[in-house]
Structure 1
Amino acid sequence: MLVNLRSNLCSPVPLFGLVLSVVCYFFSPQPEYMMLLTVAQLIFVPTMVKMVIDFNKVGDAIVVVMMVTITMLHWWSEGWIAIILALIYVVYTAFIALQGVKRFLQRGFTNMAEISIDVGLIYIFIGGLWFFAFIANIDTGFSSLITWLTAIHFHYSACLLAISIGLFGRIHKSRWYNAVVVILLTGPLLVALGITFSTMLEIVSVTLYIVAIYSLFFLALKTKLPRGQGLLLRISYGSLCITILWSFMYAFGHVIGNAYVGIPEMLKFHGVINGVFFGSMGVLAWAILIPESKHQPFHFPVSQIRGKLRERKDPHPGLVDALSDFVETAKLPHVIPHFYEETNQYRLQASVKWKLWFKPFALIYQGLSRFMQQLNLPFSSKRIEMTGMIVKVDEQQDGRLAPRAWIRKIDKQTTFVAIYSKHTTGETTYMNIALPLPFSTMIGVLYLYEDNGDLHLTSNHAGDAGIYLAINRFLLRLPLHEHFVITAEDETTLTAIHKMRIFGVSFLQIDYQITRK
């Protein structure tokens, strides 16, 4: 424990921030309450960020420059020098936010704990912008003090809390935790919007935030943690259970026009407890032991084709060489494997059904899809014929095993260009489908299984299954899922239902009628 504390707290950069904080506390001409934000800028945020990002020497130098800048602002808090210094701080927060974006692009919408850390790193940039607005006296529509308090809000309640609950999520896993994280990550923005536009929204968002904070504290109580770390973390989260009530009383006072808690009380009680107990205890807790990330990088092959496919004219009979490579075909009607292995012998008719709530987005998207000639689905649900052909794709150009492209058209306009391949992880063989997009490729990795004589293909399964977006060297999982059900009507006819969801909500269904020519 002592070794970890020395490593995480006694390295040169955190110690430098501590020394500068002491200098500011004893010698700064600024009001004493200004230290609440300064301590977060010089100690809490840099220390927590360093726990989740492995900085090189350039990164450490950027942090040191920021620390000197914040210290100088205690003596040069007005005029053009102050604006330049505050702008340097904004650049620093943008650098930290960029690390959060890079982390996210390496995973995408998977692993809630790591997403929480990503969002915390991004939130610090918003805090930096509010701090700049305070120093530069920009008219935000609020008083100077409220602008400063909003900067504090995004340093503590957004950045520090998001990173802390992300680290906690590396230890604790549950659906309850996922719900708590969603509320706590969106809470800072909802509260800020409520303060700006609607007192009722402020009340609702603070109420949800209270429920999430108390739930987080309960989860911390029931989770087994090292003794010293567990005590400090529970003190940190427990202090939020107290201070959040003051936030509620402040917001409720605005609704009824009777200020039970004012800004001075918020500074003395809410601010000090958050700084001393939430901030310092939380940093100490994680400095004792930083949990390892449970996320495993993606290792399956990804198509290297970006943009428009350079077609080859060599025809290929089917989407797969043998459906038995993916699923046991003994219980499937013969027509199902035959369709996948001899796809060119079949005709497709399709009915595209957009969900009502998604239709405005589908209408807007159509202009882009026609230009890309990809995922170019009609807006109407009228049954139409899809013509198509399957051609070989250069294996060296694609980078995967035996790729072949299924090019489907409606009225001579390209609807889909899907490049089929496969890969095996462990004992499972997945269908690996690439849809080239401008400067990127969408990847659908599908798991196949048989159920009551029907063939199911789904992205919603353990292992590699999922829908991904490949951009440059990044591969991120998207919040999309698709599920196909292939049913044999007779020896020459199939029906297929293709359902798609985003964030678990259905937005598209395509019904296919497939008949042998």
Structure 2
Amino acid sequence: ALGGLWFWLYTADIQVMTFSPIIVLLTAIHFHYSAFFIPLFYGFLGRQRTKETALYKAAGWVILLSPVMIAVGISFSRLFDTFSVILYVMTLYIYGILCMKTRFRSTLAKGLVVFSSLVLMGTIVLSLLYSAGMLMRVTYISMDQMIWFHGSINAFLVILPGLIGWLIEGPKDQLKQKNFPISKVYGRFQLISFQEESVHNHEKLGLVDSLDELNGTTFSADRVSPVIRRFYEDPMAFTLKAAVNFHWWVRPFVFLLQPLFKKIGQLYLGLSRHPYEMQGRLTRFQHPKEERENVRAWIRQNVKGEQVFFALYALHYDAAAGYMNIALPLPYSQLTAILKPFNEKEDFLLKSACPKGSTGDEGLYLHTPFITMKLPMEESFHMKPETDQSLTAVHQMKLFGIPFLTIHYHIDSESHHVSQ
């Protein structure tokens, strides 16, 4: 994207600060090579290697950050530019050495990749000489020479053979594929709801048939407070009061999206932080595109009778744990939360992010007809008993580790009344 922007600035003949047109063009080339092809090559090398070492990781971060560091140096500080180029040279030499030491299935592929890395070792040193010359106001490499090797030589002797070599080798990704059931029920740009079957209207129904179904290596239902167990096995016997708090940095976006949330009847939680009662209905759910078993739909409304939340609850298991598998239909997609249970004294915890090294299914996933991707988001529920008839719960969501939504629930069975 940055390379395309700078190339557009060059072709449109737009003045950028005090840069000459040729510097703008060289910057476009710089971003296409250093910020696009080289990270791809380095990622292919990582797939090819049997072990990911600390040296490989550290050099990878430098390769990712150096293009921006060099661009900042060119714009504002020649000294910082030279420092960034020196750091970049070191990491590209690490790349070349690792290419030589790594095993390839194809001798031709390895030859092309190693040849590409060797030429790169040479051209990057010339770039260092140019940068050092600019710092000390001495011409080691002229602009014409810079254009020649930074353009033609890198294109035909670095990128082209490297690309052909990696395409021949075709290193496979080492990502562990998740294989858990996922709902295929999507919403539309209209109220997301369902048709209730009268036969189930008065059936006692829980989010789970029994909390024991979640037992595993990290969780035992016997340790959980009885009131929490009763809530999960019969939530309609309780009233919920929710105090919703969208954090300050996300409130403008939520404000703009409120009309959409209201229209689809999903995540329409409101911006007021005052507690309000959430009424609801829970029913069994069947749909031709619902591949999970024993699914329950929980629809919640605010005091005005407006639908605020619609979720499809199910369970799934692996060898070590049972998981809450919760789907939230969205327009032409759905958000799936895979939550793993934990004990903390009598408390009950559900988390989408687990300790480092965990290989479970937990996480938040966006599913569309074309792709399922894990999101950089975390979700957690922490339920605490208050009395033998009531409990509290804290629901928190984070984006890139930064909290953006916290909901405090007060859940009570003593004052329960039948929702209309």
Tell me the TM-score normalised to structure 1 length: 0.63
How far off is 1:384 after superposition?
2.1
Among 185, 206, 228, which residue is 1:318 paired with? 206
CA distance, structure 2, for counterparts of residue 433 and residue 270 of structure 1: 52
CA distance, structure 2, for counterparts of residue 463 and residue 189 of structure 1: 35
What residue in structure 2 maps to residue 464 of structure 1?
361
CA distance, structure 2, for counterparts of residue 339 and residue 205 of structure 1: 61
What residue in structure 2 maps to residue 47 of structure 1?
none
2:364 alignment partner, SS class? strand
How far off is 1:380 after superposition?
2.5
Among 385, 410, 413, which residue is 1:513 paired with? 410
User: Alpha-carbon deviations, 1:162-208, whole Å to 9, x = none?
Assistant: 2202112323536776676566457657867x69xx92399878866
Alpha carbons 1:468, 1:478 under 8 Å: kept: yes
CA distance, structure 1, for counterparts of residue 58 and residue 276 of structure 2: 42
Distance 1:380 1:248, change over 3 A: farther
CA distance, structure 2, for counterparts of residue 295 and residue 441 of structure 1: 23
1:510 alignment partner, SS class? strand
CA distance, structure 2, for counterparts of residue 296 and residue 414 of structure 1: 38
Name the amino acid aligned to 1:321.
D
1:349 alignment partner, SS class? strand
How far off is 1:210 after superposition?
5.8
Please list every run of 5 or more consecutive structure 2 residues that lacks an aligned counterpart in the other structure: none
424-433 or 334-343, larger mean C-alpha shift:
424-433
Name the amino acid aligned to 1:447.
K
Aligned-pair identity (%): 30
Superposed, which structure 2 residues align to 1:52-67 within 5 Å?
none
Among 230, 234, 246, which residue is 1:354 paired with? 246
Alpha carbons 2:30, 2:67 under 8 Å: kept: yes
How far off is 1:220 after superposition?
6.9
CA distance, structure 2, for counterparts of residue 235 and residue 495 of structure 1: 63
CA distance, structure 1, for counterparts of residue 397 and residue 182 of structure 2: 22
Alpha carbons 1:481, 1:502 under 8 Å: kept: yes
Please list every run of 5 or more consecutive structure 1 residues that lacks an aligned counterpart in the other structure: 1-122
2:361 alignment partner, SS class? coil
Distance 1:355 1:178, change over 3 A: farther
What residue in structure 1 maps to residue 294 of structure 2?
402
Alpha carbons 2:6, 2:28 under 8 Å: kept: yes
What residue in structure 2 maps to residue 478 of structure 1?
375
Superposed, which structure 2 residues align to 1:306-345 within 5 Å?
306-307=186-187, 308-313=192-197, 314-315=200-201, 317-327=205-215, 328-345=220-237
What residue in structure 2 maps to residue 446 of structure 1?
339
Alpha carbons 1:344, 1:389 under 8 Å: kept: yes
Distance 1:246 1:406, change over 3 A: farther
What is the root-mean-square deviation of aligned Cα atoms in Å? Answer: 3.8
What residue in structure 2 maps to residue 162 of structure 1?
39
Superposed, which structure 2 residues align to 1:168-179 within 5 Å?
168-170=45-47, 171=49, 173=52
Superposed, which structure 2 residues align to 1:9-24 within 5 Å?
none
Distance 1:266 1:240, change over 3 A: closer
CA distance, structure 2, for counterparts of residue 180 and residue 361 of structure 1: 37
Number of matched residues?
385
User: Alpha-carbon deviations, 1:40-87, whole Å to 9, x = none?
Assistant: xxxxxxxxxxxxxxxxxxxxxxxxxxxxxxxxxxxxxxxxxxxxxxxx
CA distance, structure 2, for counterparts of residue 324 and residue 393 of structure 1: 22
CA distance, structure 2, for counterparts of residue 128 and residue 380 of structure 1: 43
Among 128, 137, 150, which residue is 1:245 paired with? 128
Distance 1:428 1:174, change over 3 A: farther
Alpha carbons 2:126, 2:141 under 8 Å: kept: no
Name the amino acid aligned to 1:335.
V
